[in-house]
Every structure is written in structure tokens, then in C-alpha cells.
Amino acid sequence: MKEIIKQLLRDKFARLALIVLGSIYLALFFADFLAPYTKDFSDRTMAYVPPSKIFTIDENGKLSRPYTYNYIREFNQESLEMRYKLDRSKKYYLKFFSQGQPYKFLGIIPMKYHLVCVEPDGRLFLLGTDINGRDVFSRLLFGGRISMTIGFLALFVLFPIGLLYGGISGYFGGKIDNIMMRFAEAVMSIPSFYLLIILASILPSGMTSIQRFILIVIILALIGWASFARVVRGMVLSIKNQEFVMAAKSIGQSELGIIIKHILPQTTSFVIVAMTLSVPSYILSESGLSFLGLGIQQPDASWGNMLKEAQEFTNIIYRPWLLTPGFLIFVAVLAFNLIGDTIRDVLDPKSRVR
């Protein structure tokens, strides 16, 4: 384990990936503070507003405190289009570390301070707004909390199931093994994305967002356990004939006890590696599911469901800021993959990804 961490820090790419992921998670942890607005803040008159322009040089050409203008809606009679124009009549100065919308830090501690705010009546949309006039930048931070943790949570559900299933199947062998493995193979034979959307679609509609989140986690876990269980079974097959298992048997340890206490701990290093390697695929699955509208639902944000708006042509052409979640997914997945590659190289000198 120490060796892996040492290698990760030594490798140029992996170090960069660790820094990127570290800063993403740090930003998500302090999302309430970093975001100018709360998750549910919406200004209905400000739908699809482009990113606010921040000025540091005023109209006289002098350096000034950073300020911004509000946008006003304007209807163009000739092209019959809604346009947003900067309203240059009033300046709004940015305020740092000042009081803004109240929130609860970590869900408990009530706080008001934000990293950056704007004077009252001013609007600061660093990455524009969506159809409901919600700040995309703030929602990116809150949505990231869901997108970047859902994969890990699914893994924590999936691994115990896979471990136990593979453990039992490998330990008992014979008919039990045969039946259990046929079942696992059958689950693997269904194209995983088909299974994913079907499971997501049978979720009843009137659920709270927390219930839905938990069920999505479980569904993601249901997709991946089978292939993991198969690998565990293979490992258990080679472990179960070693002396320490015989010893445990001879002192009268129960069979389930042997599997859980003696055999499965032997697979720890594999489990950790498999976990890091499969996080990105869960991030991608969740975002794909939410992109289709079957995953995390509005008003909750996730990177996938924020991209749902990018399905419309007019949006992707005239409102490119709505695509930012896609870049974040890409960066996060790339970073996880780079770390995974390095770990694989350390553990298996034959793999030589780099």
C-alpha cells in the first residue's frame, strides 16, 4: 500500500491527477462557501443569461475594484429574438468574504459568508444561468457533490455483495458454485446500460430526492457486482486450500466465519485496486443515466442532469456555457484513469501502461 502511494507521488501524471482530484473534492466540500448562490436560488426573469462580465478597469480607463453589470432582456424586432444586453447604467461591486444567502455548512452549522458576492440587486453568474435562471456555477459545485460521490457509494454497496457472493461460490465449489456462477454470467450477459435504464425506469415517481439517490446507488451497484464476484471467486479458489484455512477449519470455525474472517481479507489489495479502477465507469454511468432524465431528478443537480439541457440544438449553439459539466466529467474521469493506470503499473509490472 505504501509502495503504491509512493509511486503515485513519484509519477508526473499521477501527481497531477491527484492534485486535480484533490482540488475538485475540496471545492465540493466547501461548495456552500464557494458558490455565490444556494442550490435552489433561481431568478425566473434571468433564464439563459450569459456569464457575467467582470471589469477591473472602469470607463475612464482607471484601475478599479472589480465590478459587474447586470444583464437586461431585450427583444430584437428584426430578428425576433430575445437578447441579453449589459445594463451599463449601474455598477455592482464584487464583495469578497462577505455575507450573502444563508446556508448550513455541512448541513448543520448555519452560516452566511461566501467567497464572493455582489452588491444587493446585482447578479453574479460566473457561468451563466440555465432555463430556470439558476446559477450554473453554483449548481456545478452542488451537482459535483452527487456526481463525484455516487460512484464511491455504489462501490461500497457492490463490494460486500460481490465479495460474499464470490467467496461463497468459490469456497463451497461444486453445484453451488456452478449455479451461482451461471446466475452471475446471466447478469453479465444483459447489456449493462440496457439493464441500467430499465431498473431506473421502474423506480416509482413520487420519491423524495434522498430516496431516489439511494435507489440510484443501489441500481448502479446491481450492474457491477457480477463481474467483480467472478474475479473474487477465482481468487478464493486458489486461497481455500492453504494451510491457514485448514487450521481454521480444524479448530471448528464455522464455514461462513472462515470465508469472512480468513479468506476474504486476503483479497484486500485486489479490492482496493478494483475500486479505484472502476470509479470512473460509475461516474460515467450516473451521468449517462441523468442525461437521459432517468437518474438524479430536478431540482437536484448532478453533472449529468445539467447536461440534459445540452440536448437541444439552440442551447448548444447559443448557450455554450451549459456544456461546462461535460468538461468537468471529462477531467474527473481522466484523473481517475491516470491514477488507475499508475496503480496497475505498480502492482503488475507486466502491464506497463507507461
Residues that bind another protein (CB under 8 A): 182-183, 185-195, 197-199, 201-202, 204, 280, 284, 287-288, 291-292, 294, 307, 310-311, 313, 316-317, 323, 326, 329-331, 333-334, 337-338, 341, 350-354
What is the identity of the amino acid at 109? I
Which of 72, 323 has the CB closer to another protein?
A: 323
Q: What are phi and psi of 111, to 5 degrees?
A: -145, 165
294-310 burial: b if 16+ Cβ within 10 Å, else e: bbbbeebbbbbbbbbbb
- Strand pairing class (63-76; 81-105): antiparallel
Closer of 82 and 186 to another protein (Cβ): 186
Residue closer to another protein (CB basis): 97 or 193: 193
Q: How far is the CB of 88 from another protein (least distance, A)?
A: 31
φ, ψ for residue 70 (rounded to 5)? -80, 160
Min CB(263)–another protein separation in Å: 26
- Our CB check for another protein shows the closer of 180 and 236 to be 180
The answer to whether the bond into 66 is cis (omega within 30° of 0) is no
Closest contact distance (angstroms) between CB of 137 and another protein is 19
- Nearest approach in angstroms of CB 5 to another protein is 21
CB of 59 to another protein, least distance (A): 35
Q: In the complex, what is the shortest distance from the CB of residue 46 to another protein, in angstroms, rounded to a whole number? A: 24
Q: How many Cα atoms within 13 Å fall on the side-chain side of residue 118? A: 22
Angle at 290 between CA 287 and CA 295, to 5 degrees: 120
Residue 273, SS3 per DSSP: helix
Listing from the earlier edge strand, what are the strands of the sheet with 81-105? Answer: 54-57, 63-76, 81-105, 109-118
Residue nearer to another protein on the CB measure, 82 or 353: 353
Map 186-197 to HEC letters: HHHHCCHHHHHH
Q: How far is the CB of 288 from another protein (least distance, A)?
A: 5
Rank residues 179 and 246 by Cβ distance to another protein and give the closer one: 179
Closer to another protein by Cβ: residue 36 or 224 = 224
CA distance 269 to 330: 27
Q: How far apart are CA 230 and CA 165, in angstroms?
A: 9
In the complex with another protein, the residue whose CB is nearer, 255 or 312, is 312
Min. distance of Cβ 354 from another protein in angstroms? 6
| Alpha carbons 238 and 166: distance in angstroms, whole number | 12
